Amino acid sequence: MTKLESKTAAADTARPITEEADFLQIKAIDHVHFYVGNARHAMHYWWKAFGFKPTAYSGLETGNREFASYVLESGQARFVVSAAYTPSSELAAHHLVHGDGVKAIALEVEDVEQAWKETTSRGGKTAWAPREQRDDFGIFRTSAIFTYGETLHVFVDRGDYKGVFAPTYRPIKDKEAVSSGLAAIDHVVGNVALGKMNEWVQFYHQVMGFRQLLHFDDKDISTEYSALMSKVMANGNGRVKFPINEPAEGKKKSQIEEYLDYYLTPGAQHIALITGDILKTVDQLRSNGVEFLRVPDAYYEVLPDRVGKINEDLKAVHDLGILVDRDDEGYLLQIFTKPIQDRPTMFIEVIQRHGSQSFGKGNFKALFEAIELEQQERGNL
């Protein structure tokens, strides 16, 4: 057991999970940074398939000799895709092991030094200490700690920076996007190994000051063949939500085990993007060539009795393959893409909320069965 794991395990008895302190005061998810094999191709994919507008570029032309990088935005959601110029680069090594995947989930804070001190004093492992990058547009401040696998949380302060994204990045002005209506990042899900979920729940509680929002066990998320368990951690204002998944014992291989087999370490499994009109968004994404999982038609036969009246047209919901669930606060609609790269690792969720702040518990079984059909086709079930 590592020193960090010993501390978080001890904290399980030392500090109840209900006693959290929102000491980080996170404003929002600033951006999600992908390390990829070809940044230009990845930029084009997010631009043309998902409707993200390319807004900034860093590379040889801007003085960046290490990697090519593009910033893309849709509403308040911001993605960064970067690829190495040389095989000896850290980016190249990450891509060799994991394929395309999330390296960093960046969080906007008031003070990166305070965020770094608070998290590292509670057991967080430093990726880099507070540092400043300067150019003609001001000072860009960051610090970073490690979370599950090789994933980082980067703390970002843009208070004294007026540039397009960060030093070495320059604006992209010639690429307009056809928006699909994706407005913001709703949550980011992490997959960890069997028996490690509670350790990382304690990490987010102890090191980050998050609280546990929800808990799903293997009875909630299971089929005849496989199962998983999940706990949802959220910051104080509820704007940042990180569900943590681990596999559960089953007859066959779960989606979490398949992910770990191909990503090779824990990592970000999917990003949920929120929209105000899921029918319009999914229709546009399908037209753009985005492929989604499909549940059996029998799901829709019982849908009206299960969820009651909704504002959306049920035929359109069925035709587009959208899932619906209801709780005490309202209802939500959601749909999941197939893996967005060759390795069966990361995918995207599109979600619309009508009051409900849950995660679609009533859809878990149907969704899991659809995923298992895909696993079976790949020979990985």
Q: List the domain boundaries for the chain.
A: 3-171, 182-378
Cα gap 148→327, rounded to integer Å:
30
Paired strand residues for 334: 323, 351
Dihedral angle computed from the Cα positions of residues 71, 348, 143 and 25, in that order, rounded to the nearest 10 degrees: 110
Higher pLDDT, 364 or 154: 154
What value does the mean pLDDT of the chain take?
90
Q: Is residue 379 over pLDDT 70? A: yes
Higher pLDDT, 47 or 253: 47
Q: Tens digit of pLDDT for each residue in 306-318?
A: 999 999 999 999 9
Which burial class, exposed, middle or buried, applies to 14 when counting CB atoms under 10 A from its CB (0-12, 13-18, 19+)? exposed
Q: What is the mean pLDDT of residues 97-114?
A: 98
Q: What is the CATH number of domain 182-378?
A: 3.10.180.10
pLDDT at 15: 40
pLDDT at 220: 60
152-157 vs 170-171, strand pairing mode: unpaired
- DSSP string covering 148-182: STT-EEEEEE-TTB-SSSSTT-EE--S-------E
User: 256's torsion region: left (phi>0), alpha (psi -120 to 50) or beta?
Assistant: alpha
Q: What is the mean pLDDT of residues 3-20?
A: 40
Cα gap 252→271, rounded to integer Å:
25
Q: Tens digit of pLDDT for each residue in 45-98?
A: 999 999 999 999 999 999 999 999 999 999 999 999 999 999 999 999 999 999
pLDDT at 11: 37
3-state SS assignment for residue 122: coil
- Chain Cα centroid distance, residue 246: 15
Contact 324, 331 (CB under 8 A): yes
Decide if 3-171 and 182-378 have a common fold: yes
Cα end-to-end span (Å), the chain = 31
Cα gap 163→270, rounded to integer Å:
29
pLDDT at 229: 84
The CA–CA distances, whole Å, from 26 to 3, 22, 107, 212 equal 26, 8, 7, 16
Q: Is residue 359 very low, low, confident or very high in pLDDT (cuts 50, 70, 90)?
A: confident
241-248 vs 182-191, strand pairing mode: parallel
Paired strand residues for 270: 189, 347
Edge-to-edge strand list for the sheet holding 182-191: 211-216, 227-234, 241-248, 182-191, 267-275, 347-354, 330-336, 323-327
Instruction: Please state which of the ranges 117-126, 263-272, 359-368 shows the lowest mean pLDDT.
Output: 359-368
77-84 vs 101-108, strand pairing mode: unpaired
Contact 32, 104 (CB under 8 A): yes
Q: Is residue 2 over pLDDT 50? A: no
Q: Tens digit of pLDDT for each residue in 273-301?
A: 999 999 999 999 999 999 999 998 888 99
pLDDT at 155: 98
pLDDT at 255: 86
Q: Is residue 362 very low, low, confident or very high in pLDDT (cuts 50, 70, 90)?
A: confident
Higher pLDDT, 336 or 11: 336
pLDDT at 225: 54
Q: Is residue 99 over pLDDT 60? A: yes
Question: What's the CATH number of domain 3-171, 3.10.180.10, 3.40.309.10, 1.10.760.10, 3.10.450.50?
Answer: 3.10.180.10
Contact 109, 24 (CB under 8 A): yes
Contact 18, 31 (CB under 8 A): no
